[in-house]
A and B are shown apart, each in its own frame.
Chain A
Amino acid sequence: MADILGGVAEAFRLIVTGDPDLYGIVLRSLFFSGTAVILAILWGTPIALLIALRDFRGKTIIKTFINALIGLPTVVLGLVLFLVFSRGGPLGFLGLLYTPGAIIIGQAILVSPILVSIGVSSIESVDPEIMSLAKTLGASESQAQIAVLKEAFNGIVLSDIASFNRAIGELGVVLMVGGNIAGGGLRTDVLTTAISRDTQINEIGLAVALGILLMGIVFTVNIIVVALGKANYIVELVKVPYSRLKRYRENKR
Chain B
Amino acid sequence: MTVTAELKDVTKAYGTRIVLDAINLQINEGEILALLGPNGSGKTTILKILAFIENPTGGEVKFQGKAVNFKNSEKERLRSTLVFQKTTLFGTSVYNNIAYGLKIRKVPKETRDREVKKALEQVKLEGFEKRPARKLSGGEQQRVAIARALVLKTKLLLLDEPTANMDPKNAGILEEVIDTVNRENKTTIVIATHNMFQARKLPHRIALMDEGKITEVGTPAEVFGKLSKNLARFAAVDNTFTGTAKSTAAGTSKVDVGNGVQIEVTAQRQGATAVFINPQDIILSKTAVESSARNVFKGKITQITDLDSLVKLKVDVGKPFTVQITKRSFSEMGLCLNAEVFIAFKASSVQVL
Contacts and interface: CB of A to CB of B under 8 A. Distances in A.
Contacts of A137: 81, 100-101, 104, 148-149, 152
A132 B105 contact: no
Nearest to A135: B53
Contacts of A147: 90, 100
Interface of A: 127, 129-130, 132-140, 143, 147, 150-151, 232, 247, 250
Contacts of B298: none
A136 B88 CA distance: 12
Given A147-B90, A151-B90, A140 B74 contact: yes
A151 B100 CA distance: 14
Main secondary structure of the interface of A (DSSP, over half): helix
B84 A129 contact: yes
Contacts of B82: 136
A250 B100 CA distance: 20
Given A129-B84, A132-B53, A133-B84, A138 B101 contact: yes
Between A134, A136, A147, A250, the greatest number of chain B beta carbons within 10 A of the residue's beta carbon is seen for A136
Interface string B73-88: 0100110111010101
Given A143-B104, A151-B91, A136 B86 contact: no
10 contacts: A129-B84, A129-B88, A133-B90, A135-B53, A136-B51, A136-B80, A137-B100, A137-B104, A140-B74, A151-B90
Contacts of B86: 129
Contact of B77 (A127, A135, A247, A250): A135
Given A130-B90, A151-B90, A136 B77 contact: yes
Contact of B90 (A135, A136, A138, A150): A150
Nearest to A134: B100
Interface string B165-176: 000000000000
A69 to B, nearest CB: 30
A129 to B, nearest CB: 4
B81 A127 contact: no
B61 to A, nearest CB: 15
Contacts of B101: 137-138
A136 B91 contact: no
A136 B149 CA distance: 9
B81 A138 contact: yes
Contacts of A139: 104
Shortest beta-carbon contacts, A-B, top 7: A137-B101, A129-B88, A138-B104, A136-B82, A138-B78, A136-B51, A135-B53
Interface of B: 48, 51, 53, 74, 77-78, 80-82, 84, 86, 88, 90-92, 100-101, 104-105, 109, 148-149, 152
B71 to A, nearest CB: 11
A85 B104 CA distance: 45
Given A127-B88, A129-B86, A136 B104 contact: no
Contacts of A134: 100
Contacts of B77: 135-136, 138
A129 B88 CA distance: 7
A135 B149 CA distance: 12
A143 to B, nearest CB: 6
A134 B82 CA distance: 10
B49 to A, nearest CB: 12
Contacts of A135: 53, 77
A247 B110 CA distance: 11
Contacts of B80: 136
B187 to A, nearest CB: 15
B338 to A, nearest CB: 33
A249 to B, nearest CB: 12
Contacts of B84: 129, 132-133
Given A130-B88, A133-B88, A138 B53 contact: no
Contacts of A138: 77-78, 81, 101, 104-105, 152
Given A137-B148, A137-B152, 20 more contacts: A129-B86, A130-B88, A130-B90, A132-B84, A133-B84, A135-B77, A136-B51, A136-B77, A136-B80, A136-B82, A137-B100, A138-B77, A138-B81, A138-B105, A138-B152, A139-B104, A147-B100, A150-B92, A151-B91, A247-B109
A127 B87 CA distance: 11
Contacts of B81: 136-138
B189 to A, nearest CB: 15
Q: Which of B48, B104, B105 has the most CB of A within 10 A?
A: B104
A3 to B, nearest CB: 54
B100 A136 contact: no
Nearest to B80: A136
A251 to B, nearest CB: 11
Contacts of B109: 247, 250
A243 to B, nearest CB: 9
Contacts of A127: 88
